[in-house]
Structure 1
């Protein structure tokens, strides 16, 4: 699948379009941002941080990387890729942002999908550890020139460093949607693809670590301003984990690691295998013209 360089970055300080000069991005006002040797760009100004080291920790990123690279969420990745590519055609380039990309698994799967659609891909996360892992994995997995890879940036969904109306697709996968920003960066007719957990997601794990089970909350059915709902796809299957490390990684990559009591975490840590229900809702919403 052809991958075209992403060129629609905007300055995180003034919102002006940026252009690339060698290994640096610059705006007309003279603000400049270097591309790190690992292949990512830091576009999160200190005034936009809520903590010194926001987002997922290095340990959480490593757990998610091991778990996802083992293929446990492959059906979800295939559904996401299918939803994105349904928007594309062979005559144009599809510009896509993964807002909250983590360690880049879903963009890598999209780039490897069997399709003739040209893609221009940007992965964005507030966690520097996640973006670093995404950039390093892609460089290790391909010998393509830099122009044939996704772009990776450290930034916030609340202040996307992306030009207005420049994207065909935004992914928000198990993350924190910033709908006004998504509407701003999408073209009219562009699509937001949002993955959220269903009520039975990881039910068996939750039954072990919590004294009483509260159902996972589903997103409201109403569409945010500027978007109209299209369809909702349910991805549901039973996942069997046969290694203690996989069970530990599943817990470590979810909010349940922090929500569970010490007793609940101890019960999970004692597991040597586990069968859990994967229950995901994949929503498509279209930007109004």
Structure 2
């Protein structure tokens, strides 16, 4: 399916919030702060003073594991559900759609969105992640999207310039999402449910802690317009793919060496996925 792709240009300087202008091989604000475009096409808008570590976010190994797992198609139902909700709630009301994936990883979900949006829409996509390895991998796969190394805590995006924000398995900063969304803009937030990857968690942990309760109250500046639960089963064949799943999740670092050994001994694993997708609308008064 063909569609029009428009560049996303409403970038803000991460140091002073001023608009960035694209010129040559860099983006620059009026104050003279300049940010080079990497040879792979992405932009690093995460100043060193905003980092909490030398190399924040997912490691190169985690990104590679996630890429292999996602490309095997096991989470495609999640990607399809996100794309369908975005088209129904966001793209249905406009011919142009500017969408940010806040915590984009290696870009899988934005690529699926691009595949799903019809030719009647002009699509302007921007993916942001704090991991330079994730953004590097995303930029190599899709040169038509604006890829940014940055933080959800300080989105380098001008106020009110987005129609939609995706936060999928991520770390939501609702005040920032409200700032960059236009009035009536859509936030799609996806979180795991109690049974998500339960079979794996029962193997790697000595006991399963109760899942934290999700707050059903809409975040400030938003109204809840819809929520959907998605659950499905899938099976992993081979130790390598099981290892990829564990490596791409926080469970790798939360489990003990004994738990990791039990997972490494597996050659087949039947799993269930459970997620909740909530759609919020940005209030005009935000």
Taking structure 1 as the reference length, the TM-score comes to 0.94
Does the CA contact (< 8 Å) of 1:197 and 1:218 recur in 2? no
Q: CA separation in 2, counterparts of 1:190 and 1:114?
A: 17
Q: After TM superposition, give the deviation of residue 215 of structure 1 in Å.
A: 3.1
Q: After TM superposition, give the deviation of residue 56 of structure 1 in Å.
A: 0.5
Map of 1:74 onto structure 2: 76
Q: After TM superposition, give the deviation of residue 64 of structure 1 in Å.
A: 0.3
Q: After TM superposition, give the deviation of residue 2 of structure 1 in Å.
A: 1.3
Map of 2:106 onto structure 1: 103
**Correspondence 1:132 to 2:151:** no
Q: How does 1:151-170 map to 2 (within 5 A)?
A: 151-170=146-165
Give the SS at the match of 1:107: helix
Map of 1:123 onto structure 2: 127
Does the CA contact (< 8 Å) of 1:188 and 1:287 recur in 2? yes
Q: After TM superposition, give the deviation of residue 85 of structure 1 in Å.
A: 1.4
**Correspondence 1:12 to 2:14:** yes
Q: How does 1:1-289 map to 2 (within 5 A)?
A: 1-86=3-88, 87-89=90-92, 92-116=95-119, 117-139=121-143, 149-289=144-284
- Structure 1 window deviating more from structure 2 (108-117 vs 236-245): it is 108-117
Q: CA separation in 1, counterparts of 2:183 and 2:148?
A: 24
- Structure 1's consecutive aligned runs of 4 or more residues displaced over 2 angstroms after TM superposition are 89-92, 215-219
Q: CA separation in 2, counterparts of 1:244 and 1:264?
A: 15
- Offset from partner CA, 1:52-84 (integer Å, 9 cap, x none): 110001110100010001111000000111111
Aligned in 2, Cα 1:261/1:253: closer, same or farther, shift over 3 Å?
same
The number of residue pairs the alignment matches comes to 280
Does the CA contact (< 8 Å) of 2:87 and 2:117 recur in 1? no
Q: After TM superposition, give the deviation of residue 29 of structure 1 in Å.
A: 1.3
Does the CA contact (< 8 Å) of 2:246 and 2:252 recur in 1? yes
Give the SS at the match of 1:112: helix
Aligned in 2, Cα 1:58/1:84: closer, same or farther, shift over 3 Å?
same
Q: CA separation in 1, counterparts of 2:12 and 2:101?
A: 16
Runs (5+) with no aligned partner, structure 1: 140-148
Give the SS at the match of 2:140: helix
Q: CA separation in 2, counterparts of 1:177 and 1:114?
A: 24
Aligned residues: CA RMSD: 1.2
Does the CA contact (< 8 Å) of 1:55 and 1:126 recur in 2? yes
Q: After TM superposition, give the deviation of residue 90 of structure 1 in Å.
A: 8.1
Q: CA separation in 2, counterparts of 1:266 and 1:211?
A: 13
Q: CA separation in 1, counterparts of 2:67 and 2:75?
A: 11
Q: CA separation in 2, counterparts of 1:78 and 1:2?
A: 20
Does the CA contact (< 8 Å) of 1:196 and 1:218 recur in 2? no
Q: After TM superposition, give the deviation of residue 89 of structure 1 in Å.
A: 4.4
- Structure 1 window deviating more from structure 2 (35-44 vs 16-25): it is 16-25
Does the CA contact (< 8 Å) of 2:12 and 2:158 recur in 1? yes
Taking structure 2 as the reference length, the TM-score comes to 0.95
Map of 1:142 onto structure 2: none
- Offset from partner CA, 1:207-266 (integer Å, 9 cap, x none): 111111123324211111101111111110001111211111111111110111111110
Q: CA separation in 2, counterparts of 1:255 and 1:190?
A: 30
